[in-house]
């Protein structure tokens, strides 16, 4: 019974923790402008994140060591350093976006400018990273993040033409008013948002924090293969709600307040209250995950003591990185930079960094010295290779598309 409860809790927190500010913003933008015509990209992204999260979770469970630790050992310091630089930079950018996202969500309730809220959010995030137990942090925020299920319920309540939404997904065609470059840009952004590198690092490092062994592989796989796809359903619901309510009014989503409006149409004030709790939990949870991932990546590469399972005094450098990352994030946001713009940049640069993040994981997961009998099967390698090709295409296309389309405004 305890095991069933553990699995259920893991799945629920995986669903609630799947969506972050990047998913919220990009899915709503895409839904409002392109309907569900890019829905297949979300599905491809979710399969990809499941594939690589399972690999990195398996690496953590079988070796008892986290990804960066093994990447440096297996591929040498140079490749490890490239991996570190790319992942750390994207992580930090995502961390800034998530803290900005929390501030924007709080602003919806208080009407106070997000610039004034940011320092308090930074302090709170740091306090949680410093004091809260890993499982408490993960479970509480993951469960509260489930409030975003309201998008799925709202979609049902809005009563859209399901056949229309499905046919938009199946036909993969852009609206006449948009051009193909912009369509491709948002495809890359959606792919980057679904496959954000921090999710994998956090997942594998979390496995080490929770002392997974090969006996936990079943639980880990149920989290990944049930929790992540259901989290992906939330992403698709956000896009579909935007397509149904914002699309006909030609609304181009540029603020978090616009993302929640379809829920107001469906459920009124109660819906908005639930959605705001979901926004805060999703972005706060992701801020904690990205903040920890920044510390994990540096500490694992340089061989420092890391993690929340040891006292802060024993992992002083790890905690110093957390403090510095939080200060940098707060300082950047205090300049008045638009957190939504940071979010858009973070998902595009995630796409750029994907090959440097996922290729080493594929290599390590194939190494029988670490993995023993749990090394990748030929089927996993087949799909892993296909995904590497997709990832490289997205990475190469991301920056040119960003420039050509003026960040998705249109070429």
Partner 1 sequence: MGLQKRGACRVRVGAALLALVGVAGCTGQPASTSAWQSSSERVIGTAISGLGTARLVVTQEQRSRLQHSYAVVASTDTIDTTAKEVSSYLVKQPPDQLHDAQAVVTDALQQTVTLLSQVRVELASPGLDGPAAARLVKRIDAMRKALEKLQTGVTTAPDAVGKR
**Binding region for partner 1 (CB under 8 A):** 107-111, 245-246, 249-252, 254-255, 257-258, 260-261, 264-265, 268-269, 272-273, 276, 406, 409-411
CB of 231 to partner 1, least distance (A): 25
Q: Give 250's Cβ-side CA count (13 Å radius).
A: 3
CB of 100 to partner 1, least distance (A): 14
CB of 267 to partner 1, least distance (A): 8
Q: Based on CB atoms, which residue is closest to partner 1, 399 or 407?
A: 407
Burial 252-265 (b: 16+ CB within 10 A, else e): ebeebebbbbbbee
Distance, CA of 117 to CA of 93 (rounded, Å): 19
DSSP string, 148-204: GGHHHHHHHHH---HHHHHHHHHHT---TTS-HHHHHHHHHHHHHHHT-HHHHHHHH
Give every CB contact of residue 301 below 8 A, 6+ residues apart in sequence: 68, 69, 72, 80, 81, 84
Contact 212, 61 (CB under 8 A): yes
| Torsion over CA: 113, 192, 318, 54 (sign) | positive
CB of 186 to partner 1, least distance (A): 15
Q: Based on CB atoms, which residue is closest to partner 1, 120 or 134?
A: 120
Contact 292, 202 (CB under 8 A): yes
CB of 171 to partner 1, least distance (A): 24
- Within 17-66, residue ranges assigned H as helices are 21-34, 39-63
Q: Based on CB atoms, which residue is closest to partner 1, 111 or 335?
A: 111
CB of 227 to partner 1, least distance (A): 30
Contact 320, 92 (CB under 8 A): no
CB of 325 to partner 1, least distance (A): 28
Q: Based on CB atoms, which residue is closest to partner 1, 67 or 258?
A: 258
Distance, CA of 305 to CA of 296 (rounded, Å): 10
CB of 215 to partner 1, least distance (A): 47
Distance, CA of 251 to CA of 247 (rounded, Å): 6
Chain centre distance of CA 232: 11
Contact 94, 297 (CB under 8 A): no
First to last CA, the chain: 56
Token pair of 245, please?
A: 């309510």
CB of 261 to partner 1, least distance (A): 5
CB of 237 to partner 1, least distance (A): 19
Q: Based on CB atoms, which residue is closest to partner 1, 109 or 123?
A: 109
* Phi, psi dihedrals of residue 303, rounded to the nearest 5°: 75, 25
């Amino acid at each position: 019974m305890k095991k069933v409860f553990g699995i259920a809790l893991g799945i629920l927190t995986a669903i609630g923790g799947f969506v972050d500010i990047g998913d919220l913003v990009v899915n709503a933008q895409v839904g409002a402008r392109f309907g569900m015509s890019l829905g297949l990209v979300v599905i491809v992204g979710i399969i990809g994140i499941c594939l690589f999260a399972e690999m990195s979770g398996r690496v953590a469970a079988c070796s008892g060591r986290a990804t960066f630790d093994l990447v440096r050992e297996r591929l040498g310091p140079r490749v490890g350093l490239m991996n570190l630089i790319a992942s750390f930079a994207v992580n930090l950018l995502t961390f800034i976006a998530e803290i900005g996202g929390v501030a924007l969500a709080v602003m919806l309730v208080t009407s106070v400018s997000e610039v004034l809220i940011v320092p308090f959010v930074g302090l709170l995030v740091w306090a949680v990273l410093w004091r809260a137990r890993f499982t408490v942090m993960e479970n509480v925020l993951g469960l509260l993040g489930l409030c975003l299920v309201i998008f799925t319920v709202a979609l049902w309540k809005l009563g859209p033409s399901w056949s229309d939404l499905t046919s938009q997904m199946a036909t993969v065609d852009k609206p006449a008013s948009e051009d193909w470059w912009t369509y491709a840009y948002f495809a890359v952004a959606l792919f980057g948002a679904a496959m954000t590198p921090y999710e994998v690092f956090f997942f594998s490092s979390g496995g080490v924090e929770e002392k997974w062994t090969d006996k936990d592989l079943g639980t880990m796989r149920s989290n990944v293969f049930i929790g992540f796809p259901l989290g992906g359903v939330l992403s698709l619901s956000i896009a579909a709600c935007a397509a149904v309510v914002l699309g006909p009014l030609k609304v181009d989503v540029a603020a978090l307040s616009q993302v929640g409006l379809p829920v107001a149409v469906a459920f009124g004030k109660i819906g908005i209250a639930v959605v705001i709790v979901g926004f805060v939990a999703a972005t706060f949870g992701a801020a904690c995950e990205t903040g920890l991932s920044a510390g994990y990546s540096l500490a694992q590469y340089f061989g420092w003591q890391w993690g929340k399972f040891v006292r802060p005094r024993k992992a002083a450098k790890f905690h110093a990185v957390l403090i510095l990352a939080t200060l940098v994030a707060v300082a950047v946001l205090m300049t008045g930079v638009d957190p939504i713009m940071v979010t858009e940049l973070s998902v595009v640069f995630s796409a750029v960094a994907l090959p440097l993040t996922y290729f080493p994981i594929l290599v390590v997961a194939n190494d029988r010295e670490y993995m023993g009998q749990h090394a990748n099967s030929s089927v996993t390698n087949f799909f892993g290779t296909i995904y590497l090709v997709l990832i490289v295409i997205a990475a190469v296309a991301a920056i040119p598309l960003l420039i050509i389309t003026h960040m998705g405004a249109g070429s």
